[in-house]
Amino acid sequence: KHLLPENAQITISDPDHLNSRGEPVLPIDLGFEDAVLLTVPASQIPAILKDVVVSPKIKNQWDEIDGELREDWIDPLIIDACSVKMWPERVLDKIDPNFPEVLHCHPLFGPQSIQEGVAGQTVVVTKKRGEKAEQILDLWQQRGLKIVEMSALEHDKRMAKIQAVTFILGRLANIEGLAELVDDELATPSLLKAIAIAELDQVHSDALFETIVAFNPFVVAEIARLNQNMWRIKNSCVAGNVALASIGLLS
C-alpha cells in the first residue's frame, strides 16, 4: 500500500492459489490495468512476460470480445522488481526491446521493514521508460523513498557480493546448524552474529535464494573466490594438524 497511489485497485494473479484455475494471464486481460507488478522468481520471468507482454507482431490485431482490431490498445506499465536486473531486462528486450512502459527496479527492503512506511528506504532503478514509470517514481520520492539509478550490469556486479555472498554464507551457517546453538552455555558474541546470518537463510524462500545466487552472472566468480579462500584456510591448518597428529589427537 505504501508504494501505490491512494485508492488504487489491485488485482492479484496467482496460478498456484487454491482458488485458481491455473490459467495464464493473457495480454487482453490487462487492457484496463495501468500497471503490472511482477513478483515471481527469476526462473518464471520468461513465461510470465510472454503472458503479459504483447509482442510487436500481434499488437493491435485482436479483440477477444468482438473479433475486431484493438486500435485503442494501451500497454500497461511493466514493473519488474526482481532482485537481479540483467536477466529480466534481457528477457523483456528479447520480446520487445521498445516496449513503451517499463520500470526495472530492485527495492532494497522487504514487507517486514515497511510496516509503518517506506520513508528512508532505497529502491535501485536500472531502466525506466514511459510516462507511467516517471509518475510512479515521482510518487515514491514523495513517499520518502531514495531512488538510486545505475545500470543493470553495475547493480548485479555489486549485489553479487553485497547480497549473494551474504545469502551463501547464511545458507552455509544454516546447514552447519549454528542457529541451533543459540542457547548453548558456551555461545560467544561472535556465534550470535553468525546465528543472525543463519536465521536470514531460514526466513527467505529457496526461490529467492535461487534468484539471487543462480541468476546473477557475477556470482559464479564470487563462489570460485569462496572456494579458493576455503582452500587457503585448509592449507593454513596443515602445520597445526601435523602437530596434533604427532601426539595422537588427529588420525
110 or 157, higher pLDDT: 157
Give the end-to-end CA distance of the chain in Å, rounded to a whole number: 61
46 vs 54: which has the higher pLDDT: 46
Q: What is the pLDDT of residues 134-185, one digit of tens each?
A: 999 999 999 999 999 999 999 999 999 999 999 999 999 999 999 999 999 9
pLDDT value at position 128? 98
Average pLDDT over every residue of 8-19 = 69
In contact, 104 and 48? CB cutoff 8 Å: no
Taking the C-alpha atoms of residue 176 and residue 192, their distance in angstroms, rounded to an integer, is: 14
Contacts of 91 (CB under 8 A, 6+ apart): 45, 46, 49
Q: Return the bridge partners of 146, or none.
A: 122
Answer whether 105's CB lies under 8 Å from 79's CB. yes
Where are the domains positioned within the chain? Answer: 27-150, 155-246
The CA distance from 166 to 216, in Å, is: 14
pLDDT attached to residue 69: 46
Q: Identify whether the C-beta of residue 124 lies closer than 8 Å to the C-beta of residue 150.
A: yes
Of 40, 36, 13, nearest to 211 by C-alpha is 40
- Mean pLDDT, rounded, for 30-58: 80
For 68-224, strand residue ranges (E) read 77-80, 102-107, 122-129, 146-149
Cell numbers of 88, please?
529480466
What are the beta bridge partners of residue 79?
37, 103
CATH of domain 27-150: 3.40.50.720
